[in-house]
Structure 1
């Protein structure tokens, strides 16, 4: 045995160093000597071996060392309790806590913190009650744990805030940091700022980091960057959450250049391989550059991508229609590498399925039921409601909505938007009124859907009422999308002067969305002068956007002004502006079939052309007259017959014909189009639905058109 006190002191010092450095190899060697009784028994040494194993993540070894302790004291229990708490082994932690002969304040605080980390508010409060009944004093760590445990209960947070002030703990940085985080998480940024700035000089690095994160969460980009600069000047330590929030700040400001510079800084400091920061980088590139190749480069540089990083990649892909396939592929890879998808994974991939096929969406729905998503089921259900609505299956969307055990604002927004897109305005407005009656608070997004529903159904008076309600009743300042809906509402109703007057009265620049809405209305009503004004404003804002060129050219073509059409097309060519190619797609027997105008590539194209020729004869007998203005070609370029042929071969007609040929009689079909449906196709499909006796739904970029018995759900108001 070691007799020399200096040698024993050295042994203790080496063990303490092992604990500090997480040196498990040396620590195990020391433990072997200790167990061979080469070192005298010491409660101090026993506890430090438990501490070593617990800090190195070896919970079973820590428990074994605890069992070998001859006389475990409260410190021994607390060390092992903390180890269980860190790994969220809550049941084991509680069992161990109940075995402590005389738990102290540290014991209570450790278990309360564990409950907080797993979101078990009730158990944390119950333990606090037990603590108070036994006359234990509380400290700042107690209140910090309780506040964190109550992070989703704003009323309780405010009560604990009052208790902290009453007990004099409002000067504890840990308490204020917890309050700051919880207020921010619940959307109360002003409260979070008040806590931060009232802390004065007790603010620690966690406080600064938490405030930057709060600004990032609320998309207050400039404030986040300013605070970050202060932190740098004060030489404060920066954690990965702060750095990720700075990336969020650049994303919210759409500052790709600043984000690129910050990325370079992250590479120099070695943080670019951190999974959490990688998520921020992927989000930055996906939203600001739209080039998913940059996102993939970031992803591939991270040696051990976690579930959050995978979810960010899926989210990035799902934000653009053309990347929907890659979003689904990424979701499949996530499963193959051994991760279990969570609620966020499903929300993102369900969003992608909205652009792919209804059958894929149903498969994902079945998977969510199979693996029993429980952590945030309401968000998954909300995504499914939106997906079914976007895929034209409004009945399943409403059925799922009605079966949901609880609803929130997003649930109502999704369902109201679905009705608005399908032109079922009255049901959308009824649901909005029910939302108000049940005290589910609307948001800016809610009013976008409500105003859109009014626009698609021509309810001018109702739209004006809800537009005023936004500010008068709920304090929302109308934003660009709300004005766009109102311009659309007035324009569709033929009130072009009122729409122009509204644009001029806007408190900010109407932007391309506002002028685009007016331009569409001018096209519908053939107002050439106002269309030219709207198009010029649109072009000044976005000279490389093809939309104003195409819309203005179409207006000129419809009026027979072919020289002006040629001028517009020449201007597009000179400026390198390319029109977005139109295409339509349909899913038949779980296979996607894509068509473009004048398509000759499909294996059934001859049968499709023959079917359309036969259908054209029947349609003309029923009173259909082709609207050759939509051929957009001069009379002296091609003959009337050739114009009709071009109309027959529009992509949506090809997709509809294929769908009718490839499905059983009576089976409804759904066609999707990446542009607005043309006027002649809209009229033709009404006739086709009556002659074929089929229900045909076409989803274009603006709404759903449900054709049945020769009528469309839009009432020709689109």
Structure 2
């Protein structure tokens, strides 16, 4: 239950549950640290971590992630130095913290360290390439792609999917293969342009460069053509007006898409539950359960 509450944006409720356990085990500490991690809570995470007599690797990585996401990047980086066998996982957590803090310089240098440590991971070339793209260093972006191609590495592509009536509908960036593609795109443009009470969707997200998919591919496509927008709008068109729209994405949401789905939720009067690799985003009345930090 605590883990589920953490994933759905209710960290305080998750931590209250954990406090009711007389002797928390490894799984309970994991759930509590997960709550701190997804909600960027450094102080509770530190208190929890100090209570664990024999921390497991997943505890250390979650603690480092909570610190990094709360902006305590130096302390998170120190954990990477202290736990050399977990350096790759912790450095990824530091990069995530750089994304939230807006520290492009540290994010790029950390991605460079990550590539040196694990040069056979396609994701590391994508991370560093996207960090260069966020700084407008396009020659370096192409260099990263060439290096990955020369090694035969294939980075993952972002996609989103929705299940309706027992059938899974999968959408990629700029997808036009779906039979209702034209209607979906038209409806996406209409909903994102509709007058609503909230602010307009953000159009820039340089910090999304610290992601494990090719965000440069998404930059070449308008927000309305991103996979999660296509899946959400298809769900709005294909389900009853009172139904919850459930979508899954294999990569972290970009900030423009997050803002766009908030707008779509409000304009269409629909609730949207979107799962990405980190958590659930529950959009309702133009707001999201993550509090705009993920």
Q: Same fold (TM over 0.5)?
A: yes
Which residue matches 2:31? 449
**CA-to-aligned-CA distance 1:363-411 (integer Å, 9 cap, x gap):** xxxxxxxxxxxxxxxxxxxxxxxxxxxxxxxxxxxxxxxxxxxxxxxxx
Where do 5+ consecutive residues of structure 2 fail to align? 210-217
User: RMSD across aligned C-alpha pairs, in angstroms?
Assistant: 2.4
**CA-to-aligned-CA distance 1:131-177 (integer Å, 9 cap, x gap):** xxxxxxxxxxxxxxxxxxxxxxxxxxxxxxxxxxxxxxxxxxxxxxx
Q: 1:574 to 1:546 in 2, by over 3 A?
A: same
Confirm or deny that 1:660 pairs with 2:236: yes
By relative contact order (CA 8 Å, sep 6+), the higher-ranking structure is 2
Q: 1:620 to 1:579 in 2, by over 3 A?
A: farther
Confirm or deny that 1:678 pairs with 2:260: no
Which residue matches 1:504? 81
Q: What is the count of residue pairs matched by the alignment?
A: 286
Q: How does 1:128-207 map to 2 (within 5 A)?
A: none
Select which of 477, 480, 492 maps to 2:69: 492
- Give the conservation status (yes or no) of the 8 Å contact 1:583–1:674: yes
Confirm or deny that 1:591 pairs with 2:177: no
Quick one: distance in 1 between partners of 2:39 and 2:207? 28
**Cα deviation, residue 710, structure 1:** 1.2
Select which of 49, 55, 58 maps to 1:467: 49
- Give the conservation status (yes or no) of the 8 Å contact 2:108–2:131: no
- Give the conservation status (yes or no) of the 8 Å contact 2:208–2:255: no
Quick one: distance in 2 between partners of 1:457 and 1:686? 19
Q: 1:563 to 1:644 in 2, by over 3 A?
A: closer
Q: 1:672 to 1:630 in 2, by over 3 A?
A: farther
**Cα deviation, residue 625, structure 1:** 4.1
Normalized per residue, the structure richer in helix is 1
Quick one: distance in 1 between partners of 2:161 and 2:18? 33
| Bigger Rg, which one | 1
Q: 1:666 to 1:630 in 2, by over 3 A?
A: farther
- Give the conservation status (yes or no) of the 8 Å contact 1:582–1:673: yes
- Give the conservation status (yes or no) of the 8 Å contact 2:158–2:251: yes
SS in structure 2 opposite 1:503? helix
Confirm or deny that 1:648 pairs with 2:224: yes
**Cα deviation, residue 600, structure 1:** 1.4
Q: 1:621 to 1:695 in 2, by over 3 A?
A: closer
Q: How does 1:280-295 map to 2 (within 5 A)?
A: none
Select which of 609, 612, 616 maps to 2:192: 616
Where do 5+ consecutive residues of structure 1 fail to align? 1-414, 472-476, 634-641
Which residue matches 1:233? none
Which residue matches 1:13? none
Quick one: distance in 1 between partners of 2:289 and 2:229? 18
Quick one: distance in 2 between partners of 1:605 and 1:682? 21
**CA-to-aligned-CA distance 1:218-246 (integer Å, 9 cap, x gap):** xxxxxxxxxxxxxxxxxxxxxxxxxxxxx
**Cα deviation, residue 431, structure 1:** 1.4
**Cα deviation, residue 536, structure 1:** 3.2
Which residue matches 1:420? 6
**Cα deviation, residue 575, structure 1:** 2.0
Which residue matches 1:573? 149
**Cα deviation, residue 467, structure 1:** 0.4
SS in structure 2 opposite 1:550? helix
- Give the conservation status (yes or no) of the 8 Å contact 1:520–1:551: no
- Give the conservation status (yes or no) of the 8 Å contact 1:619–1:688: no
- Give the conservation status (yes or no) of the 8 Å contact 1:523–1:551: no
SS in structure 1 opposite 2:283? strand
Q: 1:702 to 1:654 in 2, by over 3 A?
A: same
Q: What is the TM-score with the length of structure 2 in the denominator?
A: 0.89
Which residue matches 1:306? none
- Give the conservation status (yes or no) of the 8 Å contact 2:9–2:39: yes
**CA-to-aligned-CA distance 1:3-46 (integer Å, 9 cap, x gap):** xxxxxxxxxxxxxxxxxxxxxxxxxxxxxxxxxxxxxxxxxxxx
